[in-house]
Copies of this chain bind each other. A is one copy, B any other.
Amino acid sequence: MINERVIYLPLGGAGEVGMNAYVYGYGKPGKEKLILVDLGVAFPDMDTSPGVDLILPDISWLEARKADLEAVFVTHAHEDHVGAVAHYYGRLGAPVYTRAFTANIARRKMAEHGHPEKAVKVVSPWPKMTQAGPFKVGFVPISHSIPESSALVIDTPKGRLLHSGDFKIDTDPGVGEPFDHALFEDIAKDGVLALMCDSTNVFSAHEGRSEATVGPEIEKLVASAKGMVAATTFASNVARVLTLAEAGARAGRSVCLMGRAMRRMVEASVETGVLKKFPPTVSPEEAKTLPRESVMLIVTGSQGERRAASAQLANGKYQGIKLKEGDTFLFSSKTIPGNERGVIRIINQFSELGVDVVDDTSGRYHVSGHANRPDIEMMHDLIKPQMVVPMHGEHRHLREHVKICNAKGIRGVLAVNGMLMDLTAQTPVVAEHVETGRTYLDGSVQVGALDGVVRDRIRMALNGHVAVNIILDEDDESLGDPWCEIKGLAETGSSGAPLLDVLEEDLSQFIGRSARKLRADDDKLEDELRRITRQSALGEIGKKPEVTVIISRMS
Binding site for B on A (CB under 8 A): 15, 45-47, 50-51, 203, 337-338, 340-341, 344, 347-348, 350-352, 357, 361, 394-396, 399, 442-445, 447, 451, 453-454, 456-458, 460-465, 467, 469, 471, 479, 483, 485, 487-494, 538, 541-543, 546, 548, 550, 552, 554
Asked if A541 and B444 make an inter-chain contact with CB atoms under 8 angstroms apart, the answer reads yes
Q: Which of B340, B344, B451, B543 contacts A442 (CB 8 A)?
A: B543
Find chain B residues with CB under 8 A from A341 CB. Answer: 45, 47, 337-338
Q: Which partner residue on chain B sits nearest A488 by CB separation?
A: B457
Tell me whether B554 and A467 are in contact (CB under 8 A).
no
A46: chain B residues at CB < 8 Å are: 46-47, 50, 461
Q: Return A520 CB to nearest CB of chain B, in Å.
A: 19
Q: Determine how close the nearest CB of chain B comes to the CB of A394; give it in whole angstroms.
A: 5
CB < 8 Å: which of B51, B337, B445, B491 contacts A461?
A: B51
A404 shortest CB reach to chain B, Å = 13
Which 3 A-B residue pairings sit nearest by Cβ, starting from the closest?
A: A443-B542, A444-B542, A461-B461
Q: Are B493 and A444 in contact (CB under 8 A)?
A: yes
Instruction: List B contacts of A467 (CB < 8 A).
Output: 467, 485, 548, 550
Contact A457 B453 (CB under 8 A): no
**Contact status B51-A494, CB under 8 Å:** no
- The listed residue with most B CB atoms (<10 A of its CB), out of A337, A454, A457, is A457
Contact check, A351 vs B548: say whether CB atoms are below 8 A apart: no
Write out the residue numbers on chain B whose beta carbons fall within 8 Å of the beta carbon of A337: 340-341, 344
Query: Can you list 25 contacts pairing A with B, beta carbon distance less than 8 Å?
Result: A45-B341, A46-B461, A51-B461, A203-B361, A337-B341, A338-B340, A340-B340, A344-B394, A348-B395, A348-B396, A350-B396, A351-B399, A442-B541, A442-B542, A443-B543, A444-B494, A453-B464, A453-B488, A453-B489, A471-B552, A471-B554, A485-B548, A487-B548, A548-B548, A554-B554
Shortest Cβ distance from residue A454 to the other chain B in the assembled complex, whole angstroms:
7
Of chain B, the residue at the smallest CB distance from A15 is B348
Cβ contacts under 8 Å, A487 to chain B: 456-457, 460, 465, 546, 548
Residues on B with beta carbons closer than 8 Å to the beta carbon of A451 = 490
Most buried by B among A47, A341, A347, A445: A445
Q: Are A454 and B494 in contact (CB under 8 A)?
A: no
Q: A548-B467, A552-B469 are in contact. Are A348 and B394 (CB under 8 A)?
A: yes
Please indicate the chain B residues that have their CB under 8 angstroms from the CB of A350 in the complex. 396
Task: Give the residue name and chain of the B residue nearest to A357 (CB).
Answer: B396
Interface pair A541/B443, CB less than 8 Å apart = yes
Tell which of B395, B541, B554 touches A445, judged by Cβ atoms closer than 8 Å. B541
Contacts of A457 in B (CB 8 A): 460-462, 464, 487-488
Q: How far is the CB of A501 from chain B (nearest CB, A)?
A: 15
Closest B residue by C-beta to A203: B361
* Minimum Cβ distance to chain B for residue A326 (Å): 13
| Inter-subunit contact A51/B463 (CB<8 Å) | yes
Closest to A204 in B: B361
Which residues of B are found within 8 Å of A361, using beta-carbon distances? 203
Which residues on B sit within 8 Å (CB–CB) of A469?
469, 550, 552
Instruction: Give complex CA distance A270, B132 in Å.
Output: 72
Complex Cα–Cα for A50 and B463 (A): 8
A552 / chain B contacts, CB cutoff of 8 Å: 469, 471, 552
Contacts of A394 in B (CB 8 A): 344, 348, 351
B-side contacts of A453, CB under 8 Å? 464, 488-491
Contact among B488, B538, B542, B550 with A460 in the assembled complex (CB-CB below 8 Å): B488
Closest to A444 in B: B542
Contact residue among B45, B479, B542 (Cβ-Cβ distance under 8 Å from A554): B479
The answer on a CB contact under 8 Å between A550 and B490 is no
Closest to A471 in B: B552
Q: Which B residues are CB-close (under 8 A) to A464? A: 51, 453, 456-457
In the assembly, what is the distance between CA of A344 and CA of B546, in Å?
Answer: 30
Determine if B456 and A458 form an interchain contact, defined as CB atoms under 8 angstroms apart.
no
| Distance, CA A109 to CA B380, complexed state (A) | 57
Chain B residue at minimal CB-CB distance from A52: B462
Q: How far is the CB of A305 from chain B (nearest CB, A)?
A: 13
Q: How far is the CB of A471 from chain B (nearest CB, A)?
A: 6
Task: Name the B residues within 8 Å of A442 (CB-CB).
Answer: 490, 541-543
Please, how many angstroms separate the alpha-carbon atoms of A188 and B83 in the complex?
Answer: 62
A485 vs B394: C-alpha distance in the bound complex, in angstroms? Answer: 39
Minimum CB–CB distance for A97 against chain B, Å:
30
Q: Which residues of B contact A461 (CB under 8 A)?
A: 46, 50-51, 457-458, 460-461
Most buried by B among A47, A347, A487: A487
Q: Contact at B542–A352, with CB atoms within 8 Å?
A: no
Q: Which residues of B contact A541 (CB under 8 A)?
A: 442-445
